[in-house]
Chains A and B, each alone.
Chain A
Amino acid sequence: MQDLDYLKETPSQTGGPYVHIGLTPNKLGIEGIYPVDLGESPIRDGAKGEIVTITGTVSDGAGMVMRDALMESWQADAAGIYPGNDPRGAADPNVTGWARIIADFDSGEWVLKTVKPGRVPFPDGRMMAPHISLWIVARGINLALQTRIYFEDEDNEACPVLQRIEHRARVTTLIAKKSGAGQYRFDIVLQGDNETVFFDI
């Protein structure tokens, strides 16, 4: 038999407890190497659309709020175009779409201030409901977890990704709850009751 000549993906390993040294050194107090930490905000002043603030925590299977979690978010602009290599065209120049988010070292709360994204098409052309993709690493997580933030005040019924979730009661774990004007709450639970849906995508 011939060999397939594909390479194998480099195996993942945990980001460990000191992930901030590499990815957010200024926030850790290692100053002077980089002028600023990358991913401070996914938007600049003047971004078009509704500005929203999403707050939450990441909890483990023992119910403990994790203060060493690091997340990255990736999203489209208000018109549903991704900045960068989106084949459909250029995004709002004031939307970079990407942010690096760390839990507060004391409280474990994280905050993402951004613009609410527009709808983006699934490969078959149906539209996905507005969402922000999240990538989560921490000590104890061997391969980063992938999830999505959806919004309570959007029409999520027809989203082809949410429709893939067999256990319908779990869909609510992906939907940020409105907590005020432009404010949402999105708590992530890694394990156990109310475990957040994670994707292999």
Chain B
Amino acid sequence: MNPSQTDRGPLFFRDRDWHPAAYTPGYKTSMTRAPFRPLVAMGSTLSEETGPAFGHSMIGALDNNLILNFTGQPAIGERIIMHGRVLDENGRGVPHVLVEIWQANAGGRYRHKKDSYAAPLDPNFGGCGRTLSGPDGAYEFLTVRPGAYPWPNRVNDWRPMHIHISVFGSGFGQRLITQLYFEGDPLIARCPIVKTIGNDKAIQALIAPLDMNRAIPMDCLAYRFDIVLRGRRQSFFENRKEGM
């Protein structure tokens, strides 16, 4: 089946018991930003099954290298490769989709005017990267491992080390933002944002294991993180009148 046929079916329904709920009081900001009324549910339409496509012409050579892409001089911190595949729920690689990441520097400081944490900025670290998945859905970034940082929620809340990830599928209804956490971080179990997810298996799906097979000796460590997007139905019997 060619890609133009596989990327057109109706989307699998989202499992909203698996995703975080909207109203999660442990994460205080969610309390006024969660809809109180029920979502209006229905199957996908062309508006969700189609989506924007991005070309290699818009990706620069260093766009997925956060160690060098800000000034050309290396950022300070623990050098890591972050890599994995973009898959759908059918287990197929999702090719040629845009993956964007952003993160704090090795000390936990973001290059953002609203971040006033005492840890200093790294003059050679910007904090964003992007790439397109390959023909089999594979992607990779070179970056530094971000530090933990405090945030104004409860008095002494600290975010685990994490990298924010934004990913596109072939349909706008697959659009997803999430966060990658690192194997073994003791802050994961204490984080109110992690715990917006009620299912422990779902939390485990956000923790990237150390991948020594992909590490480069005397250069950098590696972490693996696969991203799974909503799948598509393969039925040829979808276009019936309602009630038939």
A interface vs B, CB < 8 Å?
5-23, 25, 28-30, 32-35, 38, 60-62, 64, 66, 68, 72, 74, 76, 82-87, 96-98, 120-125, 128, 131, 133, 135, 137-146, 148, 161, 164-165, 167, 170, 190-192, 195-201
Contacts and interface: CB of A to CB of B under 8 A. Distances in A.
A6 B241 CA distance: 28
Interface residues of B, number: 96
Specify the main secondary structure of chain B where it touches its partner: loop
A30 B43 contact: no
Q: Which of B164, B170, B201 has the most CB of A within 10 A?
A: B164
Given A6-B90, A76-B47, A84-B51, 6 more contacts: A10-B178, A20-B112, A38-B98, A82-B50, A98-B51, A201-B41
Contact of B52 (A74, A87, A191): A74
Contacts of B170: 84-85
B202 interface: yes
A127 to B, nearest CB: 11
14 contacts: A8-B228, A10-B229, A12-B178, A14-B179, A18-B112, A28-B112, A74-B51, A86-B50, A123-B238, A140-B29, A144-B175, A167-B37, A191-B32, A198-B39
Contacts, number: 277
Interface of B: 4, 7-8, 10, 12, 14-16, 18-22, 24, 27, 29-37, 39-54, 58, 60, 63, 69-70, 87-91, 98, 100-102, 110-115, 126-128, 130, 164, 166, 170-173, 175-179, 193-194, 196-197, 199, 201-203, 205-206, 226-231, 238-242
